[in-house]
Amino acid sequence: MIKGHVLITGASGFVGSALVKRLLEIKTLHEVIGGVRCVSKDLPIGLKQVVVGDSFAEFDWQPFLSGVSVVVHCAARVHIMNEGAPNPLAAFRTINVDGTINLALQAARARVRRFVFISSIAVNGVETHLHPFSADDAVAPSSSYAISKYEAELRLQTLSKESGMEVLIIRPPLVYGPNAPGNFGLLMRWLKRGVPLPLGAIKNQRSLVSLHNLVDLLVTCLTHPSIGNQTFLVSDGEDVSTTELLHRMSQALGRQVHLIPVPPRWLKLAASMVGKTDVAQRLCGSLQVDIVKTHRLLGWSPPLSLDEGLKKAAEGLIV
């Protein structure tokens, strides 16, 4: 059990805010410190907020690292639906690489014992075919976001060897939960409203992870006595097709689903015509992850089933 302060970046974000709430319930931790872009009134009173602003890559963390045993780095520049940066890769690198290493270097100097980095399954690739991705597979990042996450992983691993600070890398697939951002939240709202969707004939297989399960794994990574430097994958432990997922989301919402069986090749063609090839790939392609290593080394299994996670997401949905 690691005792001491815990610093969480991205503390007002989707994952960070859920982790903050969970950690404030753990009495052995002395203090939970949250790095935020601006002060948030929605975070618990017990959190010490550190306002970082837009200077993440240059921010001076030293005044806030005294007594910190573990850093959980959730803050990141994530996928942008309508990218406006003239050089997207440079924009991703500024936050996801430079900002990460700025924090990690200062954490190492402050003798922080463990640095937990939230990366992405996109580092492994965008699609699986014959076998699920495993934590130690060769990587194939293709998007600017995935490339920046992998570059940060490599530099963290080098820093760990030089400083002795443990680095744990977590690569989640799609994270869902109450009012999840992105396509999942959009689909759930459409299902809630009874909107017919042309997604009734998709036979892919995809792994997801509920916000509850991801936070549970992060707490395990914080409190596990000694695991060295490792990369872990995480999921709910059950893979489903997009069509099956929509049926089960509708059941969680208590709504009747209206799915039109449009062939996936037609969906991909239509998506390519409007510049949404990546959206079609996520809806129609397979992406499975293997969490055997996570269970073997950490003794961790997802506490919630997929249906239980979907029920939590439905109960917290704000339309």
Residue 143 sits in a domain whose CATH number is 3.40.50.720
Residue 125 lies in a domain: yes
Give the global pTM: 0.95
Q: How far is CA 31 from the centre of its chain?
A: 23
- Given a cut of 90, is residue 189 above it in pLDDT? yes
Residue 231 lies in a domain: no
Residue 196 lies in a domain: no
Query: In this predicted structure, what is the pLDDT of residue 83?
Result: 59
Residue 268 lies in a domain: no
Q: Which amino acid is at 66?
A: S
Overall average pLDDT of the 112-128 stretch? 97
- Distance, in Å, from the CA atom of 5 to the CA atom of 58, rounded to the nearest integer, reads 22
Please give the tally of structural domains in the chain: 1
Residue 21 lies in a domain: yes
Overall average pLDDT of the 196-207 stretch? 96
Domain of 112 in residue numbering reads as: 4-171
Residues 6+ apart with CB under 8 A from 38: 51, 53
Query: In this predicted structure, what is the pLDDT of residue 318?
Result: 74
Band of pLDDT at residue 80, cut at 50, 70 and 90: low
- Distance, in Å, from the CA atom of 164 to the CA atom of 81, rounded to the nearest integer, reads 38
- Distance, in Å, from the CA atom of 136 to the CA atom of 131, rounded to the nearest integer, reads 13
pLDDT tens readout for residues 10-67? 999 999 999 999 999 887 677 999 999 998 888 888 889 999 988 888 999 999 999 9
Query: In this predicted structure, what is the pLDDT of residue 285?
Result: 96
- Given a cut of 90, is residue 316 above it in pLDDT? no
Q: Do the beta carbons of residue 56 and residue 104 sit within 8 Å? A: no
Band of pLDDT at residue 226, cut at 50, 70 and 90: confident
Residue 204 lies in a domain: no
Residue 276 lies in a domain: no
Pairing of strands 208-210, 230-233: unpaired
Mean pLDDT rounded to a whole number for the chain? 93
Active site residues: 145
Q: Give 133's DSSP letter.
A: B
Query: In this predicted structure, what is the pLDDT of residue 295?
Result: 96
Query: In this predicted structure, what is the pLDDT of residue 212?
Result: 97
Residue 238 lies in a domain: no
Q: Which amino acid is at 21?
A: K
Whole-number Cα distances in Å, 35 to 32, 217, 289: 10, 20, 30
